[in-house]
Structure 1
């Protein structure tokens, strides 16, 4: 007999799933019955939150949904934070969980792992949550999930299988081919209206968000066609290469870029929420758009949030960019063009603003000298905050972190593990602080077990340094921020990792060059000379 759990594995494999993150439990073992007979790799995290963060990092790198097998009750409450981060950043994640037998649902009798209503609990961090009430529902519900991932704003989907459904017979069911759904294309009228306004614009500005991450070539060409200085959100970093004449970085919260936004007669925003943590990280409400705003987004509701547009185009970013390029006059890259000169002026002003951050710039320069193709996966820590402003990379999906949007701690390590599993050939550097690392440090064991060779750059300032400064600026006596800091190197070695404290930049580069390929390397960098002023 083929059970529903076994059929589920076959269907997932047929639809391109190659990795599952999960911790087996008595309520999910029947989901595991079919895994040994498939080509799907199983990764065991040490906490369900780690499973979610790993699948998030995997999904950002591959563009495919990260898949998790999660137990009823505590497993689901544990993964909610990771689902919240993925929901905020529009990351495809398929969370498949068990739930008590259908006859026991919502009785409150104290059954193992019982919750009143898992679906209601998950509703706020998922595109949808579905309880499978019969085996025959499974193919259609899975198809709905992949429709979310393939053709609309991708977000987590939760499917729960009652214990009596997981073991039910599924011999009568056939594996279905995956439907290929088209992403939404722009309507003709607003697209032509937008192209006409952009063609006439004297001071255009282009704002790119994470929704453009699959449209790198189009983004670079569109910036040139518009001759528009271009700002990128954190999740859009790398769409324009560092030497692109129109790039102004990810500095929308700083005065030079805000002045540009006020002066622009037409602003084109594509695949971006225009949200606070990318456009107003100083929290003063002073990012304002002076001219007309044209928005393109795959989520029609998002088109109307934060800043109301004069033209709203519901479309996949890549499809809309290609259509716009067909309607705009062709241009060649020119460092002397009006747009390039405006961008150069802003870059010069920003360089002055960042003059006090030379130590961070040197740190990243030294890293990239040794590992020029590295991917950086970050938490909320000083190296991330500074790198968000300073670092530019050639290629998308190479810089992402949890410092924006939902903003959880502990993300950087497990997400880096998932990223390395998604693309094993590229170096992955996890940017962690001593506070954040203590949230998910146990995932070092998962990485050693899976032979994942990531580099953890641990910025150690002995506590929650940024929060401490935030309290002091508001005349609040610091409390709860000067936390006990353990011996990270001893702990890392206990997990089986390589671990060493960098003495200086030369020593740091030596450690990066000789990092092992089959286990993590933890490089501790103390927030003191020579790494800080």
Structure 2
């Protein structure tokens, strides 16, 4: 084995474990981690802020299914990436953050980048945060993190290594075992099986979350013979084809969806937390027995009172359960009632946020079917993600749980990097509001630097529109919701990006298609009245 400084050995170990890209920013305290990156054959993406590096790692992980890895310095570097770590934890995204840490913090005050307790600070926003005080500990913890990401509920982990240890020479980590183990499917927590209860139901209803997206093609043909109705969460969109006659779409947040759910005689929730940001109400609304299928123990014992709880991989369990039902089922669901409710809910959304859905329709018409979309906390996304038809699952990513502004641009950069093969750029876009864009605008330089083909749509209403509407509903005089924006087109050009401002929906569609053929990013400013001015 070759002896190198531990900082260099870590990069070699990560490469051996399948890591090809690392996002980060070098500094004096973590420079030893950079000694081995090029030698190991890993691509490093230089972010302009650690928050951007974290969101890029998140976007890369969501696009590829592989852990997003980031290197940051001690103190402020770790603090800056904690917001993306919190977002990844909220949305179950595999992310590994490796940072340096001061060798000693109790006896000496006033050191560069000093924090009182860096490990515990990071632990507040991720699955676990630990300190590796030896080379063997660093290797064991990295393997533990990667193993848990591959075999359990994906989530971010943080490993910090004292600076002196990063500098000290160490033997290389052992190579990854050929038979890297995979967890077997755990047994159900109760004896009642999904198959038995489906056979007895006359009005079964499924709710699919993002955890059901993997290997959905294995069970989808058998699911269709059940004649069961379905919803998806926002993260689960695309699992069930949008034109399926008994599919209600991603409309759980519609208040009257509770009435539909109450009419079912069996509710099966798969791979979803059924969290506040899925429902925007305290209860799902079901009165029938509920089955939960999930890998997360916490989900199986939450407030939704599932009578049958199955701890299992969704794809494997659904494929086996549906395959056991031989004959096509007859149910009381009717395609007309589903169509009626979907039309009603679309009208509600259009009334709540006028002018957005025509733009979303134009966007859908302009994009190829395999486009991956990253959206920010913006009214355009709030409306579109309820009704935008998805051709594939896992192709629209949004900061659902933590709700962080500034997510979409760097996450889309990470996604575009993950989806790029040589000179081929799989279609990837970012959708942001005018305010959120300014949180991480500096990462536009990364997209320019890497010549990423990336349309960046800025929905510009000149204000914090969602907050203004919320204040009005709460009878609060709108305050601090109007800001002065820069000239976004000139700003984009200053970074070296292309820029355009369509004035009609037809021009908007053409701008999208042109941007997808352009080497480098394109900022597309869309004013909120474009649907009204179109001819």
Residue 194 (str. 1) matches residue 194 (str. 2) = yes
Match of 1:326 in 2: 323
Aligned residue runs from structure 1 range 366-515, under 5 A = 366-373=362-369, 374-402=371-399, 404-424=400-420, 425-515=425-515
Q: 1:295 to 1:61 in 2, by over 3 A?
A: same
Conservation of the 8 A alpha-carbon contact between 2:95 and 2:156 = yes
Conservation of the 8 A alpha-carbon contact between 2:376 and 2:436 = yes
Q: 1:405 to 1:178 in 2, by over 3 A?
A: farther
- In the TM superposition, residue 193 of structure 1 has moved relative to its aligned partner by 2.7
Q: 1:348 to 1:316 in 2, by over 3 A?
A: same
Gaps of 5+ in 2: none
- In the TM superposition, residue 39 of structure 1 has moved relative to its aligned partner by 2.1
Residue 30 (str. 1) matches residue 32 (str. 2) = yes
- In the TM superposition, residue 179 of structure 1 has moved relative to its aligned partner by 5.4
- Partner of 1:393: helix, strand, or coil? coil
* Runs of 4+ with deviation above 4 angstroms: 339-342
Inter-partner Cα distance in structure 2 for 1:54 and 1:112: 27
- Partner of 2:414: helix, strand, or coil? helix
- In the TM superposition, residue 358 of structure 1 has moved relative to its aligned partner by 7.3
Match of 1:118 in 2: 118
Gaps of 5+ in 1: none
- In the TM superposition, residue 455 of structure 1 has moved relative to its aligned partner by 0.8
Q: 1:107 to 1:318 in 2, by over 3 A?
A: farther
The CA deviation string for residues 382-439 of structure 1, in whole angstroms up to 9 with x for no partner, is 110111111011111211112x211111101111111111112321121100111111
Q: 1:291 to 1:442 in 2, by over 3 A?
A: same
Bigger shift: 235-244 or 184-193?
184-193
Conservation of the 8 A alpha-carbon contact between 2:455 and 2:523 = yes
Inter-partner Cα distance in structure 2 for 1:196 and 1:393: 31
Match of 2:285 in 1: 288
Match of 1:146 in 2: 146
Match of 1:314 in 2: 311
- Partner of 2:410: helix, strand, or coil? helix
- In the TM superposition, residue 86 of structure 1 has moved relative to its aligned partner by 0.3
Match of 2:238 in 1: 238
Match of 1:349 in 2: 344
> C-alpha root-mean-square deviation of aligned residues, in Å?
2.1
Inter-partner Cα distance in structure 1 for 2:185 and 2:191: 10
TM-score for the superposition, normalised by structure 2: 0.93
Inter-partner Cα distance in structure 1 for 2:347 and 2:403: 28
TM-score for the superposition, normalised by structure 1: 0.94
Inter-partner Cα distance in structure 2 for 1:181 and 1:211: 21
Inter-partner Cα distance in structure 2 for 1:345 and 1:530: 25
